[in-house]
């Protein structure tokens, strides 16, 4: 059947739509003259949604009243009144606006007793959402124990956006210059280049917020910790949908991963990637080097694929993968390969977060709903589904046996 006219303007998140519809607004037409203050209170309705609705109503000749108040109300509910201004228009900015952009005076955030300076707090980092650098810093404060659980003592690559998402992206391995002496680092060896680098290894939430001051949006930790930088303590299962695979396919493959882990007596901790995939992390005893962890991951991936071959692949060469399949990417366990941490924001226009969840949420979780605006409340309400991840570490022995079995039929892929 052909599409009917969409009752909502583009870019209204599914969660906001559901809330609006549950509140009796079946489409934009219902909102003409509606009290925006009430709408701002609905779950999942943030400033970007309000901006879009207000713009569309204005264009339709039925402008709202009270929009600015609604926006302020939403901000103060989030505990940050006045940290950004209602632009009065669509979140987009012209280059002349950018030049005039008032980035604000530096603010000092108290982070567990340490004062961390944030300069240019009002610089817009997420133009489509209107979220600023200070919003990013406050996001990480709100999920502090969670992001630290993902980063603590791990060498961490930073994805920096000095001019926000509209500008250049910087992949930063070495600690940025000008770091205060309290910021901890780990020295790493890169055998391929025979070089050494000191990487940030956060020990406190203040270290994380300092990285935001250095314009970091995404945190990509290694799967090792300071105690032994050659032996991973984390095995990472990375489910990457190929272009024609759906999130339903990802869910199905994740379900098989869980089943296989259960059979092994291993607890895996799932999270959204913040993009279109899922990750499952497993604590392991740091007794194996990268190559062995990668080989064990390949053995596991091969077992998963053998159980759901219509939806999953472990094919090494991208061109040989079925575009409808989910790639079980064992290679993320190789040295110097990193994934976005649990609770890391992603440098994507919609501001999604790599969000931990419980296995019983697998059928319902919608990665697009989990953003800078929604995850803090989720964290405050349900806590961290990965809270117990450090309590037990597992061994890779059975997976290495599986790898040996699969190697009888398949060449182990080159590193
Ligand atoms: Mn991935």
pTM of the model: 0.76
Collect all residues with Cβ–Cβ distance below 8 Å to 307 and sequence separation of at least 6.
Answer: 256, 259, 260
Q: Is 311 part of a structural domain of the chain? A: yes
Q: Is 355 part of a structural domain of the chain? A: no
Domains held by the chain: number: 3
Q: Is 277 part of a structural domain of the chain? A: yes
Q: Is 377 part of a structural domain of the chain? A: no
Higher pLDDT, 87 or 245: 245
Query: Long-range contacts made by residues 309-318, C-beta under 8 angstroms, separation at least 24?
Result: 311/245, 311/249, 311/252, 311/253, 312/253, 312/256, 313/242, 316/413, 316/414
Q: Which residues pair with 279 in a beta bridge?
A: 238, 271
Q: What is the mean pLDDT of the chain?
A: 88
Q: How far is the CA of 238 from the centre of ligand 1 (A)?
A: 5
The reply to whether 263 and 210 lie within a common domain is no
The reply to whether 275 and 390 lie within a common domain is yes
* Residue 55 confidence (pLDDT) above 90: no
* Residue 214 confidence (pLDDT) above 50: yes
Q: Is 413 part of a structural domain of the chain? A: no
CA 242 to chain centre: 19
Compute φ and ψ for 340, nearest 5 degrees.
-60, 135
Per-residue pLDDT tens digits for 231-270: 999 999 999 999 999 999 999 999 999 999 999 999 999 9
Q: How far is the CA of 253 from the centre of ligand 1 (A)?
A: 14
Q: Write down the pLDDT at residue 86.
A: 41
The whole-number average pLDDT for the span 168-183 is: 91
Q: How far is the CA of 324 from the centre of ligand 1 (A)?
A: 15
Q: How far is the CA of 273 from the centre of ligand 1 (A)?
A: 7
The reply to whether 253 and 155 lie within a common domain is no
Q: How far is the CA of 15 from the centre of ligand 1 (A)?
A: 24
- Of the residues 200, 221, 242, the one at which a domain ends: 221
The reply to whether 197 and 247 lie within a common domain is no
Please state, in angstroms and rounded to a whole number, the distance separating the CA atoms of residues 102 and 100.
6
Q: Is 141 part of a structural domain of the chain? A: yes
Helices and strands, number each (H, E), in the chain: 13, 14
Cβ atoms of 339 and 239 closer than 8 Å: no
Q: How far is the CA of 60 from the centre of ligand 1 (A)?
A: 41
The torsion angle over the Cα atoms of residues 387, 390, 393 and 399, rounded to 10 degrees, is 60
Cβ count within 10 A of residue 22:
10
* Domain CATH number, residue 212: 3.90.920.10
Q: Starting at the edge strand that comes first in sequence, how are the strands of the sheet with 312-313 ordered?
A: 269-272, 278-283, 234-241, 326-328, 312-313
Q: How far is the CA of 213 from the centre of ligand 1 (A)?
A: 27
* Residue 363 confidence (pLDDT) above 60: yes
Q: How far is the CA of 361 from the centre of ligand 1 (A)?
A: 20
Q: For ligand 1, a single-atom ion, which residues have Cβ within 5 Å?
A: 238, 240, 277
The reply to whether 71 and 99 lie within a common domain is no
- Of the residues 67, 90, 113, the one at which a domain ends: 90
Q: Is 412 part of a structural domain of the chain? A: no
Q: How far is the CA of 277 from the centre of ligand 1 (A)?
A: 6
Q: Which domain holds residue 74?
A: 1-90
The reply to whether 268 and 392 lie within a common domain is yes
Q: How far is the CA of 11 from the centre of ligand 1 (A)?
A: 24
The reply to whether 261 and 161 lie within a common domain is no
């Amino acid at each position: 059947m052909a599409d009917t006219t969409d009752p909502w303007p583009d870019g209204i998140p599914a969660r906001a739509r559901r809330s609006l519809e549950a509140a009796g607004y079946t489409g934009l037409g219902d909102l003409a003259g509606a009290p925006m203050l009430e709408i701002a209170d609905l779950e999942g309705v943030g400033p970007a949604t309000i901006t879009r609705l207000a713009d569309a109503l204005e264009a339709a000749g039925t402008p709202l009243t009270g929009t600015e108040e609604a926006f302020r109300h939403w901000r103060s509910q989030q505990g940050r009144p006045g940290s950004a201004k209602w632009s009065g228009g669509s979140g987009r900015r012209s280059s002349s606006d950018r030049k005039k952009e008032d980035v604000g005076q530096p603010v000092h955030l108290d982070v567990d007793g340490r004062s961390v300076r944030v300069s240019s707090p009002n610089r817009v980092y997420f133009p489509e959402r209107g979220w600023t650098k200070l919003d990013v810093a406050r996001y990480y404060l709100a999920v502090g124990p969670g992001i630290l659980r993902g980063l603590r003592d791990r060498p961490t690559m930073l994805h920096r956006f000095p001019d926000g998402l509209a500008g250049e992206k910087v992949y930063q391995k070495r600690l940025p210059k000008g770091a205060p002496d309290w910021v901890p680092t780990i020295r790493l060896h890169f055998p391929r280049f025979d070089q050494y680098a000191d990487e940030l290894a956060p020990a406190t939430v203040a270290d994380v917020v300092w990285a935001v001051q250095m314009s970091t949006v995404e945190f990509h930790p290694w799967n090792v910790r300071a105690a032994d930088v050659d032996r991973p303590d984390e095995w990472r299962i990375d489910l990457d949908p190929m272009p024609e695979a759906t999130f339903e396919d990802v869910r199905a493959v994740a379900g098989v991963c869980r089943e296989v882990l259960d059979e092994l007596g291993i607890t895996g901790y799932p999270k959204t990637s913040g993009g279109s995939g899922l990750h499952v992390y497993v604590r392991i005893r740091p007794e194996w080097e990268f190559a062995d962890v990668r080989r064990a991951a390949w053995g596991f991936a091969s077992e998963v694929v053998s159980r759901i071959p219509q939806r999953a692949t472990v094919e090494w060469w991208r061109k040989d993968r079925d575009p409808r399949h989910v790639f079980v990417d064992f290679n993320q366990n190789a040295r110097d390969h990193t994934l976005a941490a649990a609770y890391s924001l992603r440098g994507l226009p919609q501001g999604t977060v790599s969000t931990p969840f419980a296995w019983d949420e697998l059928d319902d979780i919608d990665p697009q709903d989990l953003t800078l605006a929604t995850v803090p409340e989720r964290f405050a309400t349900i806590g961290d589904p990965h809270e117990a991840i450090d309590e037990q570490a597992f061994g890779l022995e059975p997976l290495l046996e599986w790898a040996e079995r699969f190697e009888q039929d398949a060449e182990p892929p080159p590193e």
